[in-house]
Every structure is written in C-alpha cells, then in structure tokens.
Amino acid sequence: MQQVSTTPPEVTDKPQPVSFIEALIYWLKLGFISFGGPAGQISMMHQELVEKRRWLSEHRFLHALNYTMVLPGPEAQQLATYIGWLMHGVWGGIAAGVLFVLPSLFILIGLTWIYLAYGDVPAVEGVLYGIKPAVTAIVVFAAYRIGSRALKNNVLRAMAVLAFIAIFAFDVPFPYIVLMAGIIGYVGSHFAPDKFKTGGHHGEPRDSYGPALIDDDTPAPEHARFKWSRFFAFSLVGVFIGGAVMAMLATTYGWEGTLTQMSWFFTKAALVTFGGAYAVLPYVYQGGVEQYAWLSGTQMIDGLALGETTPGPLIMVVAFVGFVGGWTKEIFGPEMLPLAGAAGAGIATLFTFLPSFLFILLGGPAVEATRDDAKFTAPLTGITAAVVGVVLNLAAFFAYHVLWPQGFEATFEWFSALIGAAAFIALFKYKTGIVQVIGACAVLGLGYSLLL
C-alpha cells in the first residue's frame, strides 16, 4: 500500500525569491498595523515572515532578535531593519526601518495637533481622564513582564531595587544608572558568572515551518559580509548626516536654540534606550520636562497614551515631545505653531532613529559571521535588571500625577484608581490587548465626565 505524505507540498518547497517591491509593500503595511508594543510587533513579524511567508528561518530570526535586544533603541524597528538589510542590502534595511516608523510619525503629528488645539474640550478631557490610569497600569504591567523575565536571582533583584532607589530618592540621571549596571554586569560575569547568565530571550525554535528563503545553512550574502572599508564608509555617512543637520540647526538657530538642543538631546537618548521605550521615558522626562521645559509632566502622560494607541514603536512618544516642545517654544512665531510642532517632531524622530540604522548596518555583518557564538551578554543582563527599577519609578511618577493631580493635599481621584486597577487586571489576568484596554478606559472616562 502506497504511503501518503501528510506534509503539504508548499511546505517542502523553498519560497520564491522576494522582490524589493514586494518587501517594500509588506514593510509599509506593517507600519500601519504594528500595534501592541515591541512584543506584539515581534510576534507579528514572526508569524508573517517565519511561519507564513518563510522569508527566513526561525533560527536566523531569533539570532537577529537577540542582537537587537543587546542594542539601545527600539528592538522591533531594528529587527525590521535587520531583516530588510539581510534580504535586500542597505536600501532594503533603510526602507524597512523607515516604513516601520513613518506612518506612526504622521499619525502622531496629527493627533498631537488635535490634542494641543482642542485638548481643553470637555469630551477630549474626559477621554484623557480615562486613558491616563490605563497608561499607569500598562507601565506597571511592563515592569512586571520585564522583571519576571530578567530578575532570575537575588543579585539581579537587588540591582533592580538599587536602581529604583537611585532614580527615585536621589534623582540619578538614567545614563549613569545604565552605565553602572553594565559595569556591574561585566565585573560580575568574571566573579559570579552564574548570576549573570542569560538564555535566549524568546526561547529556542519550537517548530519547523518548512524550508525558508534564508535558511539556517544559507550563507550570508555578499552585502552581509564584514568589510572594514564598508564599516568605515557607513560610519562616516551616518556621522555626516547627523552632524550636518545639527550644524545647520546650530548655524540657523544657535546652539541654545530649541531644535538644536532637541537634536543633541535625542541623540543622547537614542544611545541609552536599553530596555526599550519604557526605560528611556524617565530620561526623556528629566530632559523634556525638568531641564528644557518643552512640556509638562501631565502632557508627558498624555503623550504616552497617544503613543500606546498608534501603530509603530512606542518610543515614537519622542515625536509627541518634539511636537509639543516646538509648539510651546513658538520656534517659528505664534502664527506658525503647527509647523513648529511638526519640525520638532521630525527632528526628534530623525535623531532618535539614526543611531538604530547605524547599529544594524555596522554590526549586522559581524552578527552574521558569529551566528553560533553568544557572548557579551552579562552587561545586558545587569542593565535589564536595572531597567526594572527604572520602570517602577516611572510607574510611581505616573500614579502620583494621575491619582493626586493637584498634589497629596488635594482630593484623591478614586475613579481613576478604579480604572487603573481594572486595566491592570485586564492586562494581567485576562491578557487583554493594550489597544482594547485603552479604548475601554477612554469610554469609561468619557462617560464619567459626562455624568459630572
């Protein structure tokens, strides 16, 4: 009796080569539907590119992901850039990374303009009243998720507590906390290596989806092979782009000009965003609210709420900060506030993401050459532990502004507390999506404001 194969024919055949245009269409589509934060975006890419389209194998996908998790910056956007680069070279990586961000930038510019122009409308205030405690719950839940994965022993838990104390009680700048955590991790890996070991962040390959276009044993293409000449050329081009724009801003507006200071500030922010957007928010708060007064603490919470409800990386909240800063400082005069805001959002976005492209184009070839070699993870382990404490501090900051908006001596916002508790339960127990939670809380806030 003839044996019938149970494997579908399409799984046994390698996919057809993917054209640049086909990839371009996919990256643009992803830019419009990439809700759910980094975890949701990475899951979306895995399902589409590994399981369904089989553009690359799971091993290659996870290897790229582990590299992006070591880097500062938005890991989901960097992963898209890496895959685009691996498939179609430099222009493929640039296209994937830009299209992942561009829809979110334009959507946030429009929403921030509405927020600043009509934010005092009662209906809008009611919606924001409901969203703010939801955002607080989301940040607490983010701290829990990072902590449950990262704090595997008492040494790492102690580092998280120390980081919280440092930023909460002593207002230590976030970059110093990152630096110290990295040093502790590096030194600790030599004296207590078992305490700083880390496995694959997203597990090992669990299933086979059939042959992939870029499979486990597919050699790296020519453009993905390390060359010193290429390394130095990309370094010079990246530094020239950032330096030229910064110099142009300094020449036009002076070094103390708002746009010039934004370019320098968000360049620094891009280099310390270990742990994702939640971790860098305290740094952006310290600079944007306390140092430069581009926006208020309440506006910072509102910006995170808008960032949670739009596609693209959550770190796009920097576009909100830039827009509000440009508007508030009236950099083009009182008659051109929307244009000033758009300029601020554009500068914030450019200088936040430029380093991410450089990290992929410069480091990608080395990563491809060392696919079987996992090293230098101890500093990242220490930094990730510290990030948990920093994110908890952010949650405490948000909770204070949401529950006591006028200060401790004023009335406690009990309905906000109820919304926040319900949002956390929905996220933690019922695994409800972030967008659905924010939508439901917005409706509750609107209904409550109409009843008052």
Looking at the DSSP bridge assignments, the partners of residue 56 are: 214
Contacts of residue 196, Cβ cutoff 8 Å, sequence gap at least 6: 155, 156, 185, 188, 189, 377, 378, 381, 382
The closest alpha carbon to 348, from 234, 266, 280, 425, belongs to: 266
CB 274 within 8 A of CB 380: yes
Residue 353: inside a domain, yes or no? yes
Summarize the confidence of residues 279-299 as an average pLDDT: 85
Q: What angle do CA 425, 428, 431 make, to 5 degrees?
A: 105
The pLDDT of residue 95:
95
Phi, psi of 87 (to 5 degrees): -85, -40
Instruction: Say how far apart CA 142 and CA 136 lie, in whole Å.
Output: 10
CB 161 within 8 A of CB 386: no
Residue 116: inside a domain, yes or no? no
Please report where in the chains the tokens 């800063």 appear, as a residue: 325
The pLDDT of residue 7:
44
The two structure tokens encoding residue 321: 């900060």
Q: What angle do CA 208, 211, 213 make, to 5 degrees?
A: 130
Q: Count H helices, E strands: the chain?
A: 17, 0
Range of the domain at 312: 126-198+225-451
The closest alpha carbon to 214, from 43, 84, 45, belongs to: 84
Q: What angle do CA 134, 346, 352 make, to 5 degrees?
A: 70
Residue 252: inside a domain, yes or no? yes
The pLDDT of residue 291:
87
Sign of CA pseudo-dihedral 246, 247, 248, 250: positive
CA 281 to chain CA mean position, Å: 10
The two structure tokens encoding residue 368: 């491809």
Residue 241: inside a domain, yes or no? yes
| CB atoms near residue 342 (< 10 Å) | 22
Looking at the DSSP bridge assignments, the partners of residue 214 are: 56
The pLDDT of residue 305:
78
Tally of domains within the chain? 1
Summarize the confidence of residues 147-176 as an average pLDDT: 87
Residue 209: inside a domain, yes or no? no
Residue 208: inside a domain, yes or no? no
Lowest mean pLDDT among 62-71, 266-275, 372-381, 395-404: 372-381
Confidence at 123, pLDDT banded by 50, 70, 90: confident
DSSP notation for 324-335: HHHHHTTTT-TT
Residue 138: inside a domain, yes or no? yes
Q: Is the per-residue pLDDT at 199 higher than 50?
A: no
> Which amino acid is located at 329 in the chain?
K
Contacts of residue 297, Cβ cutoff 8 Å, sequence gap at least 6: 285, 289, 397, 401
DSSP class of residue 193 equals G
312: left (phi over 0), alpha (psi -120 to 50) or beta: left
Summarize the confidence of residues 51-62 as an average pLDDT: 85
Residue 327: inside a domain, yes or no? yes
The closest alpha carbon to 384, from 274, 268, 269, belongs to: 274
Instruction: Say how far apart CA 8 and CA 424 lie, in whole Å.
Output: 42
Q: Is the per-residue pLDDT at 410 higher than 80?
A: no
Please write the tens of the pLDDT for every residue from 309-354.
Answer: 778 887 888 999 999 999 999 999 989 999 999 999 999 999 999 9
Instruction: Say how far apart CA 95 and CA 237 lie, in whole Å.
Output: 17
CB 67 within 8 A of CB 214: no
CB 310 within 8 A of CB 107: yes
Q: What is the pTM of this model?
A: 0.74
Confidence at 419, pLDDT banded by 50, 70, 90: very high
| CB atoms near residue 260 (< 10 Å) | 21
CA Rg value for the chain: 23
DSSP, collapsed to helix, strand or coil, labels residue 183 as helix
Please write the tens of the pLDDT for every residue from 89-119.
Answer: 999 999 999 999 999 999 999 989 988 988 7
Confidence at 128, pLDDT banded by 50, 70, 90: confident
The closest alpha carbon to 126, from 392, 364, 442, belongs to: 442
Sign of CA pseudo-dihedral 234, 102, 423, 420: positive
CA 411 to chain CA mean position, Å: 35
